Chains A and B, each alone.
Chain A
């Protein structure tokens, strides 16, 4: 059932496998043809979509998979004996298998959720339930008490911060933060002081959605497991872009969202180690997750069903299965190589523009295919509006990471995030757009003095 290809282990755990080739121009063109939306005109210009960090575009293969399901198999899964119900159930479980294989997990370790946010909340609320005694002795390891500690980082998306803030508030546990260095990496040197005997959970993002930093999972897992703490990995920005092997990474839980990896909205994944999921008390309760129900109580199915109460997101799960099939066929290692090039082109180009300060690793340092930046004297809304006028879609604001922005002394930034279908020419158009936006808004500050700040990527 579970397949853990040796190549995947090597490329993610050691990052030492033979480097994959980025796409050729012809390959990229063929690939772009799979995404009809990329031919759209926006404000009289061809769309340049650089907001895949927020949500990705979808190829025809994914749209077709969802539509085909509705045309030919639509029915209730795990709830009926008729032919369509059996076929729908099979497709639904095939999709689970495809996703499990894609991230190096077992089928029964993949729980469907609506998105990563729900997946993380599921864990936090299940721990909350364990903290008031639900789940019996087996769930004792998930119970939090006053004085216990939860460790997150200063770079978390609010989705991997607020569920822990709330869990801490409900249980009396304390939330602690691993700080960031000026270059956008974690202060790993401080982590051993923060992750200690009282630590019960360490939750952190694999890849920062703002900085593009790739965090050292193995180091943090070693620290956490060294003190018996559980690890939750936010894989939202890694699962779509990097070869992921969750067993090799040895994390206890992981969460990601389908819509950022070519699938529709409404489907996400919680990964949990088998023995943990089967000991964790449920979060949502209701139909389809029980073995026996009496008027006094119920017995729950093993994972993953025990966490999948109610009618499921069947078409979306099937479409996510098709999406990972598409990513596998293209080759996730090649996608990673292509995006690394785009990421470097973004950061090099941005760093060369007067008045622009890139957040996160400087040019030449490891980062994924995204870059967030601040322009001295010009608000990100204005930069984004100017780019939109040329059909260039970027994200502006705090990207759901206010503590991170505060850490760098800014309230908002502009983010360009690439995916497999973006070209170098698009990156260049975006860079020209940023330079022209500065001319258009021409803040006197930029003309008078160059940007300062210790996180300046040119430093």
Chain B
């Protein structure tokens, strides 16, 4: 059938998230929004950040189309974000990016990234790193667009 390596890339959690996407569906109004395209394959995402009264993320909402890696990544990120404040979110995005760019050398940090560590196997497939990063880049961009707080 398929090799162990392929199973490592497509872990069951990833396949499950790609089918049952958490956070899928945009809401009428977000605090900030970003649209990102992966130019090599045309995959797209629009992601909204919703903030709670204390300034932490209350939820992410997104829509888009893409491969199972990009869809699962957006879904896993939507599970991770609620309750995290903006600096904490930036820290997680940076940590995720570092692991993704490491060509399999750096294990993602489970304390920071929770279930999203299952995407670690993607970092050995250079052509797929952008798929995994798409939602995270959208979130990073959306955070930059948040109105400055008084």
Contacts and interface: CB of A to CB of B under 8 A. Distances in A.
B6 A379 contact: no
Nearest to B15: A441
A194 interface: no
A54 to B, nearest CB: 13
B9 interface: yes
A50 B70 CA distance: 25
Chain A's interface size range is 20 to 34
Contacts of A436: 1-2
Interface in A386-430: 386, 389, 396-398, 402, 405, 411-412
A162 B72 CA distance: 34
Interface in B1-43: 1-3, 5-6, 9-10, 15, 19, 40-43
Contacts of B19: 443-444
B67 A398 contact: no
B1 A411 contact: no
A174 interface: no
Contacts of A52: none
B125 A385 contact: yes
A299 interface: no
B71 to A, nearest CB: 8
A397 B15 CA distance: 20
Nearest to A398: B42
A112 B68 CA distance: 43
Contact of B67 (A43, A382, A402, A440): A382
Nearest to B40: A397
B104 interface: no
A396 B41 contact: yes
Chain B's interface size range is 20 to 34
A380 interface: yes
Given A380-B41, A402-B42, A43 B3 contact: yes
B119 to A, nearest CB: 14
Contacts of A385: 6, 9, 67, 125, 128
B123 to A, nearest CB: 14
Nearest to B71: A379
B131 interface: yes
B69 interface: yes
A381 B5 contact: no
Contacts of A381: 41, 43, 66-67, 69, 128, 131
A395 B131 CA distance: 16
Contacts of A402: 42
B105 interface: no
Contacts of A14: none
B42 A412 contact: yes
A412 B131 CA distance: 14
B65 interface: yes
B67 A405 contact: no
A45 to B, nearest CB: 9
A152 to B, nearest CB: 20
A398 B2 contact: no
Contacts of B1: 436, 440
A126 to B, nearest CB: 29
B66 A379 contact: yes
A381 B9 CA distance: 13
A429 B6 CA distance: 18
Contacts of A441: 10, 15, 68
A131 to B, nearest CB: 30
Interface in B86-135: 125, 128, 131
A386 B41 contact: no
Most buried by A among B66, B68, B69: B68
B70 to A, nearest CB: 8
A450 interface: no
A197 B15 CA distance: 56
Contacts of A44: 3
Q: Which 3 A-B pairs have the closest CB atoms?
A: A381-B67, A379-B67, A397-B41
Interface of A: 43-44, 378-382, 385-386, 389, 396-398, 402, 405, 411-412, 436, 440-441, 443-444
17 contacts: A44-B3, A379-B43, A379-B66, A381-B66, A381-B67, A381-B131, A382-B69, A389-B3, A397-B42, A398-B41, A398-B42, A411-B42, A411-B43, A440-B2, A440-B10, A441-B68, A444-B19
Given A43-B3, A412-B43, A436-B1, 8 more contacts: A381-B128, A382-B10, A385-B6, A385-B128, A389-B2, A411-B44, A436-B2, A444-B19
